[in-house]
With several copies, the nearest count.
Chain A
């Protein structure tokens, strides 16, 4: 019997290696797997590359992982949030590498990694300083940049419901990067608010089929914090 539900946080985050590329779901505070982040902090892996839309808020979660010196590089579109104090300190001190990627290009690069597309062309960022070092090509009269896929070793995902096959649903704007990150990593780890019986999810409402999921841990924390 397939059963991807694990019983402890330690089991959920076991085996994340030093140097891993970690895809971290969430947009702002919504759909971000805070419990898995705490599990990763506890687990100890270091020298990480974190791919996340934002660069952490306050002193907890991703900010704490940064604060502990466990992140070598961050790939994100928007490091300037309401309270990015930890990231800014590290960045100014030259103690963390930053790769700024336009948000849509980041999303498409992650999707491409899951879809077996090693590279694609996009008009986003043509003529800007984020085009530096990228191949430019004219196709049908318009200029495009070549962008490579962005795969992860690990994806940390927050879902609303999950079953033992790893099928997932998400709640309203809690989807954001989670479904595409789930497809793009060697090891996809999910925290879910609700664990339901196999067959309980509407087959037309499953947003991430279990094929993309390795482990699910039940974390029924309720609504996201007010930031």
Chain B
């Protein structure tokens, strides 16, 4: 695709690193299963960001050394994790009270689609999905103060994931506040998607061509 001839789309790790840069010290953050989990690798320990897992773990640390695994301590993706000094445990009702109650500064989720009104679709590919699995995605999307989505800008077959209206079943309405793709960073505003940042060499026009929803450029220094 000639659009990308002049630019280099970000890798999954690059996207996680790019997003991680925007998380300030002191934020309480839930990272969704999959790609979002990588974000933690790019937040240095000395910048104190407190990661929550919805299965009742607040203050998760890095993945443990294989010989130091605590088999009672997993994250929402059922991976072994560690607890930082200052971390704590809680049961599921308290964990989701924290999520639903608007106490997380940020949740990062993957998605199939994000609409210009902030709707997100990330849990089910069709209304006829056999045994769809929602997990905590709806609670997180509705509850966190900020919802950032990290996803490829297009599907493998080249369809835009940033849309006017989601065609997949919704996870939450009007919830997304920012999107990090392999091509750009975009805020979701009352006026739709506003581009904060594009990869070097990509023009707004070129980005618009691969984006279903209309884009606007952010005012300088905003």
**Which residue numbers of A lie inside 8 Å of B, CB to CB?**
1-2, 27-30, 55, 77-82, 84, 87-88, 91-92, 98, 100-105, 107-108, 110-111, 113-117, 122-130, 163-165, 167, 170-180, 183, 198-199, 201, 203-204, 206-207, 209-212, 223-224, 226-227
Interchain CB contact under 8 A, A91 and B135: no
Q: A210 — which chain B residues lie within 8 A by C-beta?
A: 50, 86
B98 interface hit (Cβ, 8 Å): yes
A75 to B85, CA, bound (A): 36
The interface bits of chain B over 120-151 (1 if a CB of A lies within 8 angstroms of the residue's CB, else 0) are 00001001001111111111001100000000
Q: Across the two chains, which residue of chain B brings its CB closest to A114?
A: B101
On chain B, the number of residues with a Cβ less than 8 Å from chain A's Cβ atoms is: 60
Q: Across the two chains, which residue of chain A brings its CB closest to B83?
A: A203
Interchain CB contact under 8 A, A130 and B143: no
Q: List 28 A-B contacts (CB under 8 A).
A: A1-B46, A1-B48, A27-B92, A28-B74, A77-B134, A78-B135, A79-B131, A88-B131, A91-B131, A104-B95, A105-B96, A108-B100, A111-B93, A113-B101, A117-B100, A124-B100, A171-B72, A176-B91, A179-B91, A179-B93, A180-B91, A201-B88, A203-B83, A203-B88, A209-B88, A223-B72, A224-B72, A227-B78
Interchain CB contact under 8 A, A105 and B169: no
Q: A198 — which chain B residues lie within 8 A by C-beta?
A: 85-86
Known interface pairs A108-B93, A117-B100, A123-B142. Does A103 touch B54 (Cβ–Cβ under 8 Å)? yes
**Which residue numbers of B lie inside 8 Å of A, CB to CB?**
25-26, 28, 46, 48, 50, 52-59, 70-74, 78, 83, 85-93, 95-104, 119, 124, 127, 130-139, 142-143, 169-173
Interchain CB contact under 8 A, B86 and A123: no
Interchain CB contact under 8 A, A123 and B91: no
Interchain CB contact under 8 A, A107 and B72: no
* Interface of A (DSSP majority class): loop
A227 to B46, CA, bound (A): 33
Looking at the assembled complex, report how far the CB atom of A226 sits from the nearest CB atom of chain B, in whole angstroms. 7
Give the residue of A29, A79, A113, A117 whose beta carbon is less than 8 angstroms from that of B133.
A79
Looking at the assembled complex, report how far the CB atom of B88 sits from the nearest CB atom of chain A, in whole angstroms. 4
A203 to B90, CA, bound (A): 9
With a 10 A CB-CB cut-off, give which of B83, B91, B103, B104 has the most chain A CB atoms: B91
Q: A81 — which chain B residues lie within 8 A by C-beta?
A: 78
Looking at the assembled complex, report how far the CB atom of B90 sits from the nearest CB atom of chain A, in whole angstroms. 7
Known interface pairs A117-B100, A172-B83. Does A103 touch B57 (Cβ–Cβ under 8 Å)? no
